[in-house]
Structure 1
Amino acid sequence: MNTLDDKKRVTPSESQRIELRSLVNLSCEPISHFWPMKTFIHHNPLHGLEHLTFEKAIKEGQRFLKGRGYLSSSENRKYLQQGRISEDSINEALKDVSQNATISISDREISHLEVLRSILIHGTGKVATDVCSAILQPSLNQPEIRNLFKNIQDLSKKKAPEYFLKGHAIREKKDLATQYTLAEWCDQTLGTNVQDQVNGEIIKWVSGFLDEGHAPWGMPERKKTFYKAWKELALDDASGSILGIQDWKSKILDLPDRPEDAVLESLSLLAIPKNLWDGYFSLQLAQLSGWTGFIKWRSEQTNYAWQNAFPIDLIKYMAIRLFYERELVMLACQEKLAIPGTYASINEYLNNHPTGYGLFREFRSRVLPDEVVDYLDMSLFSQDPLNIKDLDQCDSRLISTWEQTIEKQEAESQTLMVMELAQSLNISIQDLVKCTPDTLSSLLDWIEQFPESHHGPIWLEALESSYIKDFAKKISPNLEKLRKSDEMEEQPLESRPLSQSIFCIDVRSECFRRQLEEIGGNETFGFAGFFGVPICYQGFSSEQQTDQFPVLLKPKHVVKEIPRASQGKAAEKFLEGQQIAKTGHALLHDLKENVVTPYVMVEAIGWFFGFKLFGQTLRPKWFKKVMSWIKDSLVIPIRTTLTVGKVQREEAYEMVAAKHRAAIYRLFTEKHDRQGGTVPHEQIERLRKLALNQIPSDSNENEELFRLLKWNASDLEQFILALRKDFNLHERDLGYKIQEITKTGFTVSEQVNYVDTALKLLGFTKTFARLVLLCGHGSTSDNNPYESALDCGACGGNHGISNARVLAVMANNSQVRQRLVERGITIPSDTHFLPGQHDTVTDEVELYDLEEVPATHRKDLLRLQHDLQEACEKNSRERLARFPDVPAIKETDKASLLTKVRSMDWSQVRPEWGLSGHTAFIMGRRLLSRGINFEGRTFLHSYDHSQDPDGKYLEIIMTAPMIVANWINMEHYFSTVDPLVYGAGSKAYHNVVGNIGVMYGSESDLCVGLPIQTVFDGDKPYHDPMRLFAIIEAPLERIATIVGRHEILQRLTRNRWINLIAIDPDTKKFFHFQLMKDWQPIN
């Protein structure tokens, strides 16, 4: 056995460590980033492989992640039967793989294309080799089938002696450490469960280390980094000894202090050749791609509090994983084969015993043919360790018999496939029998060269081709309207709409926009839901900031929600109530997680949880009303505004003072068992100033404080010290916080730039209505870990209202409007921008900052609210018809009430379909899509090419919203084609872990992607797995120029991760952009 005792440990050099880190970073390409679920980010699970073509990346995904890359042929055949795939599209898709060749059977010429099309549509007819005989034998009494079988047997190519047995060793020497790890080889060859044992240990440690406040008892020693914490805690962990690892503690103690050194040591003990290291790292990281994807993301976040507190990276992960593998592989190989568990030893074993090993693999992989069993001592296969030499010296007649058996089975399989093909091509068996050997051989070659594994790309091309042609037909009436509009020499004067609304480009907004427009007098636009304003947002009373922008961007501004000027007293009461609620929640949590108190709690307050359980389960609507009434009774309503303008120092001081007063209330509640509200405001203010040394501490004015609180000077001193220590109430922190606040907001020039860009990007530069609604969106559901996946992707998986409020404040700013005139945009003085938010589950639109609406606009506001409510009802009715669990809706039913129930029901696994079902992303004028029912399957981004001659605004759309839409599309695509590997499987088995994600049961990989309920309707896909169609109404040259300027766009289009389609504004014809072929017309 190769151990550290065999040779003296050599400490690696710093250059070796740097090289190792580089290799690990390169090897994580197949592993996509995984963001924590609280800000769910849609992403391509093969994002790191986008430099490869779509087809090659899928093959790499199969190699490392073991995931399927295409929808099954059986599902695609259903699409064909339903007319969603046309035979013409199949023929087009097969042109690139078919040969210009034909064969003659009887008096008929059959092309290679015909054969491929028949195999694709009807299947190969291939069945498992070991059952071919059972299927074919009953038919061999028919002379023509018997003769066909004989002809195919005669064509069988003679293989080298012992090929079938030695083939196992030949293949596995090539695949070892390149296609699978040593642990996987042990499992598939020896029947061990080494891989599961390694994964189980890793999951135990990473889930504990990465926990972000979910576990009641956190893992100790985490500040020492993942590797060092594991080294220390593993000494007291009995798992290693239970797994059979001898001298467990001494091996842990003997590990190097640095994780890089531990990785190099394990690679040396496993004897992995250096030229295989990068691929071997990829295989290791792919075993738990969810956990490693999260580690990869977290290790790159320099400002992530949990990472800064408890450091982890992939090197530290690899050091621990390889340690477990080297020990358990060594154990398995010694026990089962009596060889060391190293790459070199296993390779030598395969090289020295190809025949015996081939017999052993055949025995393990399938039932041995009866003809072979007579020549074997079957007890040899069950010995530990395996007696490979006896198997090597098997009877020579065995090799010949084995070869003949395999050849017969292959001939049977080929006969069945040829018969299946003949039936679909309407060829008789008699004609096949009469074929020349060359013709029959060509036919067999064509079948074997087009196995089921090659069908996926063809089906995908055919599905996409059929879709875009149907799409072109669908919008052709609107193209004709555009043509007539563009040909008019003088455009008619546009009447002022009753209202204008800017919605997110989200597919769920498409339906709502259509309903709102059909009511009459309402014009709508589509814009990425962060409204072009990337901000870090902090809500009032919230301790955390949220990133309100796509992950492609970086924030430049912080915006905070603050009480309006008249809300000072209400704000204090609100914060006090919030603190009481937080304290009560923390107390309840501590009682639940305590070892002893749960036994008492069941008796004391179990009835309360029973009320919640039965209410949410049996009467969710009623329960929601009761809880809302209780909440409204207890929560102090407060009106807020946002720090959009640059905050002056005086305002900043007052904001910090409000926070300080809240801290004092909190200290009274937590430490002194009394409500802060019982202390007069002026005394709270006095305590604040004392803590900040703004007034003398020995003043006689303290007497009133002492009398009121029944304190003495010592009590006051302790209270002030607690404020300074626990809440940072001191002079230095005051200055820091004021400085931070004065950094928030935007200058007037910055506001002008954001409003100007937003309006010109939309082509919305004239004919403004009296009310313009900026409508963000969010989602409301209960008991749903994936709730943020239903929120606004452009806002980082958060609600979009904060961005809408920011842009509304900017657009209403009179100074901003004055400067916009200089840039060619005149917003009438009676135009008011109003923020709102669309709940995509209930379809309700809530309007914000109504106190800012001028009194002169009340009538306009009432009309808009009425139209929004009507659109809500109509859209809910349309959406409910798509849910499999909703019966037909009667005309008398209130559809909006049914959607509300879905948002409240904690047993509802599908509160809404979300973005599932999307297919296209249209960038163009509204006339291109107005009035067309896209069934909630299309992203709509407003864009007017005539107002963007240099392509500046189109470039913004193509390099931000279009990229995000592509990520969304890829996540839905892969979650549909393989819901267990690229998707998150069924919600029924999910458990939240660490506040970062979900896993199956109590131990599994982190579930990546989307749950099956999001993309499947029962057992059939709801989402059509196609690559996104990005359809742009703009000159072809302009689009091509933009693609040429951005490597990411070149990569996506060249490698076919996205379908880039242009509608030529002059000819109104469709073109498909392919980087290597330029623009290809779509008929």
Structure 2
Amino acid sequence: MVTAQSTAHKQLHNDSIEAVITRATKVIVPLSPISIFAARHPWVNLEDKQFETIGRWLDNSRDVDIFPGKKIIKDAYQKGEIEDSYLVERLEQWIEQQQLNVPFEVAKQYGSNALKLDDQPLTIESESYDLAATTELPDDDVFQRWLQRSMPPRSKFIKHKPKESYLQLLDYHVIKWCKLYLDENQASWTMPGREEGFFYAWQRLVTHDPALSKVQRQALKQVPSEPLEVIAQMLEHLAIPHDEIQGYLENHLLALPGWAGMLLWQTDKVGHKAPLITEYLAIRLALEWVFIQPFAPFNASNPVARPSVVTLINNWIHWGGLTTSHWNQLSMPKQHDYLKLAQRLDDKTCRTLWLEAWEDSYAQQLRHQLTNVSKAEKKNDSTQAQLAFCIDVRSEQFRRQLEAAGPFETIGIAGFFGIPIESCQLGSHHSHASLPVMNEPLHKVKEVARPQDLQMHLQRKYSVSSLIYTFKKMKQNVLPSLLLPELSGSWLSVQMFSRSFVPRPVGNLIQKFYKNWFNKPKSSLTLTHEMYGEEDGLPVGFTKEEKVTYVKQGLELMGLTHDFSPLVVLCGHGSQSANNPYASSLDCGACGGAASGFNAKVLAMLCNLEEVREALINLGITIPHETVFVAAQHNTTIDELDWIYVPELSTEAQAALTQIKAVMPQVSLNANTERMLTLPRLSQSVKNAKHEAQRLAHDWSEIRPEWGLARNASFIIGQRTLTQQTNLEGRSFLQNYDWREDATGSILANIIAGPATVAHWINLQYYASTVAPHYYGSGSKTTHTVTGGLGVMQGNASDLLTGLPWQSVMRSDYEAYHAPLRLLIVIQAPDDHIDRLLQENQNFKQKVDNHWLHLANITPDGQWHIW
């Protein structure tokens, strides 16, 4: 066998190994550091396969179940979120698709009972059956297709200790080396040789690792110095069949998807001489070989758990109403068909049908809300202000309260406002991308001030940052750390007690102190490229043509190309929380944790430029002279607007702004009240919702400052009149769109490629963190360990956690808050617009066809169609 493997592996040249690694890497996704948290769809590279297929494969290869659990399903059913009629309809459709020789009513009775999600029936003695014709399950292509690419690491099946396999030991060692290499300057002593690469640094140090035996260290000295050679050699030693190599590497990547994802992100963003994933796999395979070498040769098979014939017959007795005598009277072909149906309608199929019925029930509820309510006119002459908010689901509640408070129209658009920039705050030497992580910045915009004003601001800023830096360095060094408690103990004790028992007033006081101390001077933005040139390979500012292009594009995405109000407010959004490693996850889920007020300010300033307005007239967009654009930021934790750019206003615009500020306290209170009642411990009553929201924002012991985007379920693309009089309960992303202004379909295509894709990623991240929290979530915040400035672990040797914390999706230890439904995209447009979209965008069509999301449209005459 080894000789045959050697021949197979000699056919694998370096180029082909690299190609296999590239394909294997599709099972993981890049994981950015937690400080720039971005929504990540765990299966984004697997959408060429059916959602259920990937679910089956993950369960078979990694014991990861991505279908909603029985408890979640039963809770949703008891709350009335799943209608019986849709469950019956889904079951009947499924039975018809099987094309088996089983009477329909018999199959329906069996399925209806199996869908009750009771425990498996007790087994009746096999002697009761005539098993002569059915000693083995019949071949079933439908079942076999779930079992592809399922070869786990060899080390999984060899015990290191009675309750621990060598795979667990391997993961422990790999985690240790990943932590050392990826550390973001948190450790006092960095890993020697890390600048030469991960594999080089590991190879240099591992032969001195006291956690390895002398024999193991000696074996590692013989490992080749090139990662690709190591991988080829170790695959040969491990006797991996040629056609199983990709699956074997996939399972090694899925063993620690967090650390592997971080290495993938580092390769993409930081740049390395060799792909870090290749080096990572070389290290894993080399360590695996030295651990299990004494147990060679290895079993080549990977047994797959399949139900026995007796179990399936018992299911028919229990759920199908058959008797043993009836079963024995069936012909062999009929018995095979009965067995196939029972085999296919297993627990996962049942929970898939429940999930589909749940999604159908929500779709029907949304259809009723969007098509059966009388709609007001889009805009009337009394509208004083138009406010553009991010499509974020948290904006929906705030927008509804604002529109009810006065003559205001709200608009939905992606929060980066179509401005692909890298932003640099005043006095900072660092800039960050301020746009969705799937895109690259095309411009840099810096905040600048007069030198004399900037100098005073920087002096105060550096005095604080120097104090913080000195404190951290003292903690990390041996001798200074002994003096630190004596020097800082009293102050830190006062801070601890005050932040714990009176967090709201103390938090407000600290916030006010920082604002007054820094005393940020009046600043401007570097908008004109001709004045500022280039920096770090990016043009600083925009040319005149680019200014016009971005303004036109932004206005079209908002559906705001005519009927301008005197005041147009562009509202970015951000959040506020204390002592929260996941703070950035509550900001923009698309833009790596960046708040989007800066982008709002850039677009507002561009819209106010006279040269831009004059050029827009020739493009069919006339902005009235009295219309002024301003910028604000929506704080989603306390539901307040922070005004960040207010230029000189016209009389009409000033009156509108005054009116907004007058109603804002009540708007915030109403939004706070609505949101507070959804939080645990506050669901009965809230005495002062505003004070409670501020407490949550400032309390450093608070594990749930807000819900974030939990319970998101739909993305609605249409005019505001479609949703304006509807309480969508903060579950919908809202994107303005008027199909009549989009003859070519280009605007809709941009929305689908950008905002809709981001919403899809967010939706599946919340889904995965709810249904498989141990694998795709990040556990409880109360036991997190922040690691190396990168992310969080549970304890000191776990995978780097990839998803959302337990408190972001669960109401309690036993009750889910987030409803794990796949995103429903609803487009207000005629059928031919949808046809064109699906024909021209095969990637989006694939998402729909393979059930990664759902698609519906509302025609101009109010008809609802599911695609």
Pair in the same fold by TM > 0.5: yes
CA drift at 1:1031: 0.2
Summarize the Cα distance change of 1:582–1:465 in structure 2 as closer, same or farther, 3 Å threshold.
same
Alignment check: 8 A CA contact 1:30 1:60 kept: no
In the alignment, which residue of structure 1 is the partner of 2:319? Answer: 421
Distance 1:583 1:800 in 2: 28
Summarize the Cα distance change of 1:116–1:253 in structure 2 as closer, same or farther, 3 Å threshold.
same
Report the aligned-residue RMSD: 3.2
CA drift at 1:125: 3.5
Summarize the Cα distance change of 1:1057–1:436 in structure 2 as closer, same or farther, 3 Å threshold.
closer
1:313-462 alignment, distance < 5 Å = 313-331=276-294, 333=295, 341-343=296-298, 346-347=299-300, 417=315, 420-421=318-319, 432=323, 435=326, 437-438=328-329, 446-462=341-357
2:855 is equivalent to residue 860 of structure 1: no
CA drift at 1:90: 1.0
Deviations 1:46-97 (Å, cap 9, x if unpaired)?
1121111111122232244432121123432333333221121112211332
CA drift at 1:540: 1.1
2:495 is equivalent to residue 527 of structure 1: no
Distance 2:287 2:117 in 1: 48
Distance 2:323 2:227 in 1: 65
In the alignment, which residue of structure 1 is the partner of 2:141? Answer: none
Summarize the Cα distance change of 1:1023–1:625 in structure 2 as closer, same or farther, 3 Å threshold.
closer
2:18 is equivalent to residue 18 of structure 1: no
Deviations 1:516-572 (Å, cap 9, x if unpaired)?
000120111000000111111011122221111112322211100111xxx432211
Distance 2:148 2:44 in 1: 26
Distance 2:848 2:761 in 1: 14
In the alignment, which residue of structure 2 is the partner of 1:849? Answer: 645
SS in 1 for 2:363: helix
2:599 is equivalent to residue 788 of structure 1: no
Distance 2:438 2:636 in 1: 24
Distance 2:259 2:605 in 1: 42
Q: Percent identity?
A: 28
Summarize the Cα distance change of 1:327–1:592 in structure 2 as closer, same or farther, 3 Å threshold.
same
What TM-score do you get using the length of structure 1 for normalisation? 0.74
Alignment check: 8 A CA contact 2:57 2:150 kept: no
Summarize the Cα distance change of 1:246–1:418 in structure 2 as closer, same or farther, 3 Å threshold.
same
1:41-440 alignment, distance < 5 Å = 41-99=38-96, 110-123=105-118, 125-126=120-121, 153-157=128-132, 178-187=150-159, 192-241=164-213, 246=215, 248=217, 250-301=218-269, 304=270, 307=271, 313-331=276-294, 333=295, 341-343=296-298, 346-347=299-300, 417=315, 420-421=318-319, 432=323, 435=326, 437-438=328-329
In the alignment, which residue of structure 2 is the partner of 1:1001? Answer: 795
- 2:471 partner letter: L
1:682-701 alignment, distance < 5 Å = none
SS in 2 for 1:121: coil
2:529 is equivalent to residue 646 of structure 1: yes
In the alignment, which residue of structure 2 is the partner of 1:471? Answer: 366
In the alignment, which residue of structure 2 is the partner of 1:373? Answer: none
Distance 2:100 2:287 in 1: 55
In the alignment, which residue of structure 2 is the partner of 1:536? Answer: 422
Deviations 1:721-773 (Å, cap 9, x if unpaired)?
xxxxxxxxxxxxxxxx9766993111222111111122223221222121111
Task: Flag the structure with higher helix content.
Answer: 1
Which of 488, 505, 508 is the equivalent residue of 1:605?
Answer: 488
SS in 1 for 2:395: helix
Summarize the Cα distance change of 1:765–1:177 in structure 2 as closer, same or farther, 3 Å threshold.
closer
Distance 1:14 1:295 in 2: 28
1:726-745 alignment, distance < 5 Å = 743-745=539-541
Distance 2:324 2:171 in 1: 55
Summarize the Cα distance change of 1:989–1:320 in structure 2 as closer, same or farther, 3 Å threshold.
same
Distance 1:741 1:264 in 2: 39
SS in 2 for 1:971: helix
Distance 1:476 1:889 in 2: 33
Which of 1000, 1007, 1014 is the equivalent residue of 2:808?
Answer: 1014
- 2:130 partner letter: L
Alignment check: 8 A CA contact 1:548 1:794 kept: no
- 2:491 partner letter: F
In the alignment, which residue of structure 1 is the partner of 2:620? Answer: 824
- 2:549 partner letter: N
Distance 2:771 2:514 in 1: 44
Deviations 1:871-924 (Å, cap 9, x if unpaired)?
11110010001001215335xx43122101101111111111111101110000
Deviations 1:432-462 (Å, cap 9, x if unpaired)?
4774733696877754542213212211111
Summarize the Cα distance change of 1:443–1:1045 in structure 2 as closer, same or farther, 3 Å threshold.
closer
In the alignment, which residue of structure 2 is the partner of 1:800? Answer: 596
Alignment check: 8 A CA contact 1:45 1:1009 kept: no
Distance 2:537 2:281 in 1: 42
Summarize the Cα distance change of 1:189–1:634 in structure 2 as closer, same or farther, 3 Å threshold.
closer
Distance 1:596 1:768 in 2: 65
CA drift at 1:600: 1.4
In the alignment, which residue of structure 2 is the partner of 1:635? Answer: 518
Summarize the Cα distance change of 1:157–1:934 in structure 2 as closer, same or farther, 3 Å threshold.
farther
Alignment check: 8 A CA contact 1:779 1:790 kept: yes
SS in 2 for 1:772: strand
- 1:210 partner letter: L
SS in 1 for 2:288: helix
Summarize the Cα distance change of 1:216–1:433 in structure 2 as closer, same or farther, 3 Å threshold.
same
Distance 1:177 1:452 in 2: 22
Distance 2:786 2:824 in 1: 35
Q: Which moved more, 1:806-815 or 1:946-955?
A: 946-955
In the alignment, which residue of structure 1 is the partner of 2:389? Answer: 503
- 1:459 partner letter: W
Aligned length, in residue pairs: 848
In the alignment, which residue of structure 2 is the partner of 1:660? Answer: none
Alignment check: 8 A CA contact 2:57 2:148 kept: no
Q: Which moved more, 1:543-552 or 1:627-636?
A: 627-636
1:526-605 alignment, distance < 5 Å = 526-563=412-449, 567-605=450-488
- 2:121 partner letter: K
Deviations 1:202-247 (Å, cap 9, x if unpaired)?
0000111011122232222111111111111123221111xxx516
Summarize the Cα distance change of 1:508–1:633 in structure 2 as closer, same or farther, 3 Å threshold.
closer
SS in 2 for 1:960: helix
CA drift at 1:292: 0.6
2:755 is equivalent to residue 961 of structure 1: yes
CA drift at 1:1043: 2.1
Alignment check: 8 A CA contact 1:102 1:111 kept: no
Deviations 1:936-964 (Å, cap 9, x if unpaired)?
00011011111112212111111111111
Summarize the Cα distance change of 1:252–1:78 in structure 2 as closer, same or farther, 3 Å threshold.
closer
In the alignment, which residue of structure 2 is the partner of 1:38? Answer: 35
2:691 is equivalent to residue 897 of structure 1: yes
SS in 1 for 2:774: coil
CA drift at 1:646: 2.5
Gaps of 5+ in 2: 138-145
2:389 is equivalent to residue 481 of structure 1: no
CA drift at 1:574: 0.9
Distance 1:945 1:124 in 2: 50
2:766 is equivalent to residue 871 of structure 1: no
In the alignment, which residue of structure 1 is the partner of 2:611? Answer: 815
Summarize the Cα distance change of 1:1002–1:416 in structure 2 as closer, same or farther, 3 Å threshold.
same
Deviations 1:279-308 (Å, cap 9, x if unpaired)?
11111111111111111222122xx2xx45
Distance 1:264 1:739 in 2: 43
- 1:544 partner letter: H
Summarize the Cα distance change of 1:324–1:421 in structure 2 as closer, same or farther, 3 Å threshold.
same
Summarize the Cα distance change of 1:517–1:232 in structure 2 as closer, same or farther, 3 Å threshold.
same
